[in-house]
Structure 1
Amino acid sequence: MRNDLTLIGREIAVFLLAALFLALTIVPVYIDVAWMNDALHETSLTETTQEVMLATIAALFFIAARRRPDQRGALTLVAGFYACMLIRELDFVFDAIQHGSWVWFALAVTAGSLAVALRTPKKSVHALAALLQHRSWPVMASGFLVVLVFSRLFGVHVLWQHLMLGDYNRVVKNMAEEGTELLGYSLCWLASVRYVWQTRPTAAALSVRAPESAPARHATSPVTSH
C-alpha cells in the first residue's frame, strides 16, 4: 500500500507541475498582445519561446544519444526530427542566405540522423519501439498532432474570415494559431523531459533491481517464520 500511495502522490505532483508549466506558457502570448502592441510575428516572445522549447528538446535527445550507445540511433532520429522542426521555425533566419534555404539544412540534419541510426539498425528499431511503448509517448504524439494538424487547420484564413466577417483582424488569427502551436510544443517538452529522465541509466537499473528483490524477500520469509 505504501508503494501505491507513493505512486499516487508522485503522479499528482507531476500533474500539478505540468499544470503550472502550461499556465506559464500563456505569459509570452499575453506579453506579445498586451504589452508589445500585438507583436505576434517571427521574432515575437511567443515564437521565441517555441524555438527555445524545440532547441531544448533537441539538445536533450542529442545528449542522451551520446551517453546511451544502445539507444543512440533512435534518440538521434528523435533529436533530428525536433531539430528539423526548429529549423522550420527559424526559416526567416535562413531566408537571409536564400529564400527557402531552410529546406537544405533540414535535409542535411535528416541525412545525418538517418546515417547514425542505420549504423545499428536492430538497436535503433528496438530503442524506437521502446520509446513508442513508454508512457510519455501518447503525450508527445498529442503535441505533434496539435502542432502539425490542429494548429494548421485552426489557423486557416477562411475560418477566421467567416468568424469575424468585415472585422477580420489577422492578429486574432495569429494569436489563436501561435497559442495553439505553443500548447503543442509544451506537451512535447513535458513528454520529452519525462522520457529522458525516466529512461536514464540509473533509473533503468533501479527498475530492474526492484522486481529482483521481491522474490528474494519471499524466499527468506519461511526461514524467519520458524
Structure 2
Amino acid sequence: MPPTPLPPPTSIGFGATCLRAACYILLIAAMMEGVHYEALYLKGTRFSEYGFTELAEIIFLTVISALLLYVRHVQKALPTVTLLMFAFVFSSLIREQDHFLDRYVFDGAWQTLVTLVLVPCLTLVIMRRRRFVAEFVHYSNTFSFGLFAAGFLTTYVFSRLYGRSEMWIAIFEDDYRRTFKDAAEEVTELLGYSLILIAVIEMVLLVRRWRAQT
C-alpha cells in the first residue's frame, strides 16, 4: 500500500494551540517535579542509571519510538523520514541501557545492537534517498520539525558541552562534586528528549490532519 500523499501544510487553530501548550507545560512541570523529588529523596541513586531522570529518559524514548512506528506503519506517512528518526531514537534508547547491557549481557552489547539497528535503516534510507528528500522538504516546513531540531541540539550538543567535568571543576574548584556535573547533563538531556517527544506528538497530529484532508 503506497504511503499517504502529502497535501499542503495545514494551520493549527488558536484554541488547539492553547490546549497543546497547556498540556506540554504540564508535561515539563511534572518532569521537573520528578527531578526535584529525585534530588530530595533518592540520594543513593540520584542522577544515576537507577534514578528518576534515567527512567524518564527511557520512558520518553520508548514512547517516541512507538509513535514513529505508528506514523510509519499505521498512518503510512513519511515512511523514510520516520524510519531515519526511528533508527536515531531507538539507538538512543539502546544507548541509555549501556550499563545494564554491558553488565548482564556482554561488554559492548549496546554497540552491537545499535549497529544492527542503524545499518539496515540507513541502508534503506540511502536506497530511497529521492523519496527521503521529497518527504523531508515537506516535513521541514512544519512546527514538528522545528521542535525536533531543538530537541536534537539540546540533547546531543548542548547537554554534552554543558555536562563537561572540566567546566564544573572550574566553577566549583575545591567544592566540586560529580553530582553537580551528572545533574546538569542528565536534566538537560531529559529536556531535549521531552522536546523530541513533543515534536513526534505534533507529527502524529499533523499526519492525522493530512489524512483528514485526503
TM-score over 0.5 for the pair = yes
Q: How many residues align?
A: 201
Contact in 1 for aligned 2:61/2:193 (Cα 8 Å): yes
Q: TM-score, normalized by length of structure 1?
A: 0.81
Contact in 2 for aligned 1:91/1:102 (Cα 8 Å): yes
Q: TM-score, normalized by length of structure 2?
A: 0.85
Contact in 1 for aligned 2:84/2:121 (Cα 8 Å): yes
Moved more, 187-196 or 65-74: 65-74
- Please state how far the C-alpha of 1:70 moved relative to its aligned partner: 5.4
* 1:52 pairs with 2:78: no
* 1:147 pairs with 2:155: yes
Moved more, 35-44 or 125-134: 125-134
1:154-198 superposed Cα distances (whole Å, 9 cap, x missing partner): 111111112111111111221121111111111110111111222
* Higher fraction of helix: 1
**What does 1:173-184 correspond to in 2, within 5 Å?**
173-184=181-192
Match of 2:91 among 69, 73, 84: 84
Q: Tell me, in whole angstroms, the C-alpha distance in 2 between the residues paired with 1:69 and 1:112.
A: 19
1:116-171 superposed Cα distances (whole Å, 9 cap, x missing partner): 43564433332233222222111111111011111111111111112111111111
Q: 1:70 to 1:164 in 2, by over 3 A?
A: closer
Match of 2:199 among 184, 191, 202: 191
Q: Tell me, in whole angstroms, the C-alpha distance in 1 between the residues paired with 2:18 and 2:27.
A: 14
Greater RCO structure (CA 8 Å; 6+ sep) = 2
**What does 1:112-191 correspond to in 2, within 5 Å?**
112-118=120-126, 120-191=128-199
Q: Tell me, in whole angstroms, the C-alpha distance in 2 between the residues paired with 1:183 and 1:36.
A: 20
Match of 2:27 in 1: 21
3-state SS of paired residue (1:42): coil
Identity fraction in percent: 27
Bigger-Rg structure (1/2): 1
1:48-67 superposed Cα distances (whole Å, 9 cap, x missing partner): 10011011101111222112
The unaligned stretches of length 5 or more in structure 2 are 1-11
3-state SS of paired residue (1:136): helix
Match of 1:37 among 22, 43, 61: 43
